[in-house]
Structure 1
Amino acid sequence: MRLSRFLSSPVGVALVFLALASLTVSFARFTGGVAMVWIAGAQLAGRLVVMPENRWGPWLIACSFSSLLATGLFGMGWTAAVPLAFINIAEAAAAALLMRRISIAFWPEETLEWIAGFYIGIGLIIPLVSGALATVVANLTIGASILESFTHWIIGHSLGLITCLPVFRFAYWRWSRGRNCLPNPEKWPFAAMILGGFAMLTIVVFTLDMRPLLVFPLLFVVVGSAMLEEALIAAMPVVLILIGGTFTAFEMGPIALMDMAYGDRIQFFQLYVAVTVLAALPIACERSRRLAELRRMQERLAQLEALEPSAY
């Protein structure tokens, strides 16, 4: 648990943010402009979501320095580092704030409204605003194409938030309550069987050059979201990203052989993972709502049974 406390601290979050941002801006700037893949914002937003807004300051400041270093050392240079740091951190904070607001307003009774707020607000509106600002910065500092930068930013940041924010939110929520992200020890054999089977399926799909087979990992995640506990549901997109992303990055598998530029293939893989999460998220949310409702009914029934002897 010491490791989880460190990873949840401002320094720990900033170090992970720096690692993720450095990796993406050094690897995913395929056209020399903005990164076409962005995960660091979802990581910071996932940490902020589980805290009250009045405590966000240290995490925002620490990650601002991380963004500054990543852009200055590996990205568009020091001239763009300061404004892009502000945009990146503001985007993550806005996503976290909106997620907290829709959770307070709608969760868990109105899951449809929560999902709509997540899709439209976090997946669309926030990346549009941040993308417009970042496009201006990229054009003024390095002369990057406005349309290209705007498109790449929106796709990379939107898919990053949609795909990874639920996963990071789950991890930091568990850690903030002194729990780990693993299933209960008695369920480890079952968890190993499920995740091992999913990993093998993903390896087979990304080894073969048959794009129709991509539907099977998606279906596995969708069906699993209706039956499995949160720890396993959160782990499956991670397994898909690690295996499928590695194959695609090394130009292997069905996506890597598509007749498009390398960067576009990477973004297509991002889209594939995002569609998988989007398809599974409503089912997982509805399952959580029904389980919460069942717990309330059981608690109410226990209260009624406790009061019953006093009636005689």
Structure 2
Amino acid sequence: MIAKTEPCVEANSGAPVAQFLPEIYKESLDEKVILIVGGANGIGASLVGLCCQNGAYVSIGDIDAVRGDYVASKCIEHWPVHSDPALPPKPPRAAFQRTDVTDYQSVLDLFDNTFNKYKRIDHVVVTAGSTETEEPWFDHALNLTEIRKPPSSRDIDVNLIGTLYVTRIASVYLRHNRGPGVDRSILLFSCSAGFKETPGVSVYQASKHGVQGLMRSLRANFSSPYKHSIRINTICPWMTLTGNSFPKSVEDRWTKEGLPLSTPLDVAQVSAGVLCDQSLNGASMFVAGTRAWEIEGNMERLESQWLGEEPSQTLAQGQKVLQEALAA
């Protein structure tokens, strides 16, 4: 087992919470081809380094060409590829391509070029994200004049539409040039705001709920051997020091209260652990500080408590009917 969960009993709970303990071994990622959308900065850049350090080939897509080129060149410098003289030369350890995740053709070009260069794709990760706080959609100060100006849709475009684009294209490319029993996966980035209300970022939160919903809608379909046999999971980071996530006043108060802060590397390590663990499908990892917990299992296990026994049974029966009817 490459990565595991262990029961961790919280105070006043009596119910086990699955704490995720990522363990990353070189053989888990060695010679794998990993495409990371949003890999030029923050968590994405840290994950690129972790994967290359453990022998993977990484294709980086990002709108930030300066940082993307820098990250790719550093990976090539630090972890060079050694080819057998008797065999064709191997591709570079990392490659960067400027990619606008909101542009379908741009995302498609990234997959095309990655597949042509590396001949297959093993894992796809979407870390690209946007948080616009300067122009709140639901500002209390809005008046009849200001409401006539359409608000920015960038958070929806990047976080949700972009993730939909990448996931759609990945679901096809991951099927090709794969041997029997070879692991493939898609890892999406949601957020704690994807399952818990967060003030001041309504549209961002709606987009991250959408990412969670996308994973939940696909986890049974993608993992079926009669469909794609692809794992799909999400990462839900809490407060992470990425340099542009929260105002300094929030960060200072957070630290004063002793709340957990994650570094990009903390979140990247959890992400790499999820990529490595072939038993994980349909999982969501809530990351706080250096620790992570799987939340989907408890939501399902406790459904009859928060929804009620009878509604839970009715819902399960209805879902079964829908699944069988739509499959037919």
TM range (shorter): 0.3 to 0.5
**Which structure shows the bigger proportion of residues in strand conformation?**
2
